Structure 1
Amino acid sequence: MTILVTGATGTVGRHLVEQLSGAGHRVRALTRDASRARFAPDVEVVEGDLTDAASLRAAFAGATAAHLITFGGDDGADLSNGHELVALAAESGVGRVSVLSGWAPTSVEAALRASAIGWTLLAPVEFMSGALEWAPEVKDSGTVSTLATFASAVVHEADIAAVAATALTEDGHAGRTYHLTGPEALTPQDRVRLLAEALGRDIAYVHLTEDQERERLRAFGYPQDYVEFGIQLATNPPAQAGDVHDTVEAVTKHPARTFAQWAAEHTDHFRA
């Protein structure tokens, strides 16, 4: 059985490739740039672009399961060619698909729902890796500055991958939508405290005004519409942001990883 992992060099994809390969499965990793792959020798790396279904025939050929992401291209826009991708998957003999869903359904989810393929949708809340955005400020000034104060049940990317791996290799997950969270809801200030403990140094939390947050987001080079989206998210977060679900443990039979674990694994990113 060959499992195709799209977005293989991404935050979740890399974990998924490593977990599947480590469990002895035959893995084919799709990336637009094979030089970025750096996987174990037994992982087959193929190049292709999700926005161009014609470039993916070799990637899907002989695959029996696939993990799909719903965005592509240089701008990371939602895929509009989901029907082509799903038709190619079905034609190639793919019988199981896991999908990493975003804020809203895309053409990929719609095409899967209309297909005969057994699909599983992964709907994570905020990724723990979002804290990497704080790294430059922590290095430079020992502070973390944000507008948001709401609690979020942030989830470890490796746990998202673990649920995907289970859905791709075991029966009983077709037609399911899994809401994925970590084991606790944490405010940004909570996460800063846990990160400071992992680093063994003080980190000050700075609460920004809306105008200061706009300035911070613009400094990352984000377009104005994304900046305003960030403001709305910080001031009017989704009602379910702090809801904790036991889905990770229920599906994988392992407890969800904590933010303290994530912080301990990523201290090098925050050291000057």
Structure 2
Amino acid sequence: MSRILVTGATGNVGRHVVTRLAEAGLRVRALVRDPARARLPEGVEVVRGDLTAPETLAPALDDVEIVFLVWPGFAAKTAQPVIDLIAAHARRIVYLSAHVSDTDEPVTFHQELERSIRHSGLNWTFLRPGGFAANTLGWADQIREGVVRWPYGRASRALIHERDIAAVAVHVLTSAGHGGAAYALSGPERLTQAEQVAVIGEVIGREVRWEDQPPQEARERLLAAWGDATFVDGALAAWSTFVDTPEEVTDTVEKLLGRPALTFRQWAEDHETDFR
């Protein structure tokens, strides 16, 4: 098999994808912005490149058959040139998208990129996870203080462990029969945001309280942290929706991997030191 190129190779999901492919003895190339800081497994070919600068990508795509694409941020400006470049070199693409519907309005960045990929001529597969369990790391400082103030404590989510996303990605990258598939991925259970905080507290052996924060107050804080009003407003709207319409639980992970998806408690145990 020719090389598999993994973008986002030092991120929460990409790092696990690279490691699993390397452990399987496959030829994996990792695209990173700074090779000196990558700290990836021995034997992985690490190359410098930036998806927001398409002119840096041609060397990374040499002799590449399959690309695992994780797009940085939410700006679509350079996406089409990158997809065109990938299509000129590779045969298959597995895109880490998001839990979206083909008919959602307004159209999201992930929908735009999926449409570009569909028309690229590449054999494609989309992974569409819902909420990432790793996003709760944003509460770490508050958890250490014993109180999490955040909006919509009753928002119910089926958060997925990044290791499950990576395991599905590796399965799809290394097996046939996934062309044209869009896999909705989730964890195996729903927990409200307040329940997620309680689970983390139990894992670290410390009582942690939840306090509902007014959405407008949260919006100001998130704007300062994220800097993108559209993304902030979209996140707040989604959390609000999950109060009355909980996030969907799917069995896709179990069907593809032959084992149950990892629970949120298992994720918290894996990340216990991040909250201490």
TM over 0.5: yes
> Do structure 1's residue 100 and structure 2's residue 104 form an aligned pair?
no
1:221-262 deviations in Å (ceiling 9; x for gaps): 645444433432332349875211010111122221111011
SS in structure 1 opposite 2:59? Answer: helix
Aligned residues: 265
More deviation, 216-225/243-252: 216-225
**Partner amino acid for 1:81?**
T
1:80–1:107 contact (8 Å) kept in structure 2: no
Give the structure 2 partner of residue 143 of structure 1.
Answer: 147
2:157–2:242 contact (8 Å) kept in structure 1: no
Question: Where do 1:54-65 residues align within 5 Å?
Answer: 54-65=55-66
Matching residue within 208, 211, 214 for 1:206: 211
> Do structure 1's residue 232 and structure 2's residue 237 form an aligned pair?
yes
> Displacement, 1:213?
2.3
Give the structure 2 partner of residue 27 of structure 1.
Answer: 28
**Matches of 1:4 and 1:238, distance apart in 2:** 39
Matching residue within 129, 132, 140 for 2:134: 129
Give the structure 2 partner of residue 88 of structure 1.
Answer: 85
1:82–1:107 contact (8 Å) kept in structure 2: no
Matching residue within 182, 201, 213 for 1:196: 201
- Percentage identity across paired residues of the two chains: 39
2:226–2:232 contact (8 Å) kept in structure 1: no
**Partner amino acid for 1:145?**
R
> Displacement, 1:160?
1.0
2:35–2:47 contact (8 Å) kept in structure 1: yes
Question: Where do 1:71-82 residues align within 5 Å?
Answer: 72=72, 76-82=73-79
1:201-226 deviations in Å (ceiling 9; x for gaps): 11111122223423543563645444
**Matches of 1:156 and 1:40, distance apart in 2:** 21
| Structure 1 residues 91 and 232, CA gap change in structure 2 (3 angstroms) | closer
Question: Where do 1:241-256 residues align within 5 Å?
Answer: 241-256=246-261
- What's the TM-score once normalised by structure 1's chain length? 0.89
SS in structure 2 opposite 1:261? Answer: helix
SS in structure 2 opposite 1:205? Answer: strand
**Partner amino acid for 1:253?**
G
1:34-83 deviations in Å (ceiling 9; x for gaps): 1231011111111111122221011110011110123x3xxx23333333
> Displacement, 1:165?
0.9
1:88-142 deviations in Å (ceiling 9; x for gaps): 22332x2221101146335532232113321100111010001100001112x21
Question: Where do 1:171-182 residues align within 5 Å?
Answer: 171-182=176-187
1:21–1:27 contact (8 Å) kept in structure 2: yes
**Matches of 2:244 and 2:183, distance apart in 1:** 17
- What's the TM-score once normalised by structure 2's chain length? 0.88
| Structure 1 residues 263 and 87, CA gap change in structure 2 (3 angstroms) | same
Question: Structure 1 regions of 5+ residues with no counterpart?
Answer: none
> Displacement, 1:86?
2.8
**Partner amino acid for 2:12?**
T
| Structure 1 residues 214 and 114, CA gap change in structure 2 (3 angstroms) | closer
SS in structure 2 opposite 1:25? Answer: coil
SS in structure 1 opposite 2:210? Answer: strand
**Matches of 2:94 and 2:224, distance apart in 1:** 35
